[in-house]
């Protein structure tokens, strides 16, 4: 456990991220942990992402991490059902010094918004929305991503429930089945990372 904590805190968070995380606590949002955020920044930087879709804006924690890894001209499109959360995310992006033209905040349900986005246009799709919709998010991500693009799902271990076969609640089953689907998918090269609450990542071949 000490090693996990050490790894999780290896890349620290600055005052902007700490403030966004504090606001998440206030409104009952569980953002990605520091280890997962650092991984998202690394992945977006690794592929020099210019166009990213995020499902589940929250208060902007994951968005700030990804924007810091993306190209300077990159644009984050982030979707959330809660307008108040997106207002707080905008505050976080502004505090991080991100120009307004570098992010699009789209209110609404992901499965209503995603079909309106352009096929094959995006470098990264990050999913942290309704766990019961993860399979549908994957289908949309495969359509939205360029070849070589990356799809990532937060909460892939779901509070240690996914690894326990006795846990059969709908969210756990949904995430477990997503992992199986991604592992067996011919068009994906997946890896499950034990950062935070689990980050399931795959490259579109």
Residue ranges for the chain with pLDDT beneath 50: none
pLDDT digits (tens, 9 = 90+) for 181-201: 999 999 999 999 999 999 999
Contact 204, 187 (CB under 8 A): yes
Q: Given this model, what pLDDT does residue 45 score?
A: 98
Q: Report the alpha-carbon distance of residue 161 to residue 138 in Å, rounded.
A: 21
Q: What is the dihedral of CA 168, 189, 102, 27, to 10 degrees?
A: 20
Q: Given this model, what pLDDT does residue 54 score?
A: 98
Residue 83 CB partners (closer than 8 Å, separation 6+)? 107
Compute φ and ψ for 34, nearest 5 degrees.
-60, -40
Q: Given this model, what pLDDT does residue 1 score?
A: 84
CA distances from 108 to 96, 114, 130, 168 (A): 24, 10, 13, 29
Q: Given this model, what pLDDT does residue 74 score?
A: 98
109-148 burial by CB neighbour count: b if 16+ within 10 A, else e? ebbebbeebeeeebbbbbbbbbbebbebbbebbbbbbbee
Q: Which two tokens stand for residue 167?
A: 């846990």
Looking at CATH, the fold of the domain delimited by 2-204 is given as Rossmann fold (3.40.50)
The whole-angstrom distance between residue 65's C-alpha and the CA centroid of its chain comes to: 10
Q: What are the residue ranges spanned by the domains of the chain?
A: 2-204
pLDDT digits (tens, 9 = 90+) for 62-76: 999 999 999 999 999
Q: Which two tokens stand for residue 118?
A: 């352009």
**What is the helix (H) or strand (E) element at residue 145, kind and residue range?**
strand 145-154
Compute φ and ψ for 201, nearest 5 degrees.
-125, 145
Q: Given this model, what pLDDT does residue 97 score?
A: 98
Contact 48, 69 (CB under 8 A): no
């Amino acid at each position: 456990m000490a090693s996990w904590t050490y790894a999780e805190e290896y890349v620290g968070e600055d005052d902007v991220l700490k403030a966004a995380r504090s606001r998440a606590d206030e409104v009952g949002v569980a953002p990605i942990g520091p280890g997962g955020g650092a991984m998202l920044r690394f992945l977006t930087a690794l592929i020099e992402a210019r166009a990213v879709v995020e499902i589940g804006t929250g208060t902007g924690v994951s968005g700030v991490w990804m924007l810091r890894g993306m190209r300077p001209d990159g644009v984050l499109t982030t979707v959330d059902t809660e307008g108040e959360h997106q207002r707080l995310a905008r505050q976080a992006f502004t505090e991080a010094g991100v120009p307004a033209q570098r992010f699009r905040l789209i209110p609404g349900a992901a499965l209503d918004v995603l079909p309106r986005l352009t096929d094959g246009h995006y470098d990264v799709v990050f999913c942290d929305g309704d766990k019961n919709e993860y399979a549908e998010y994957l289908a949309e991500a495969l359509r939205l991503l360029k070849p070589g693009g990356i799809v990532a799902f937060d909460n892939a271990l779901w509070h240690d429930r996914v690894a326990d076969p006795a846990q059969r609640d709908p969210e756990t089953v949904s995430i477990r089945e997503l992992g199986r689907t991604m592992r067996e998918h011919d068009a994906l090269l997946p890896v499950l990372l034990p950062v935070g609450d689990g980050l399931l990542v795959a490259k579109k071949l």
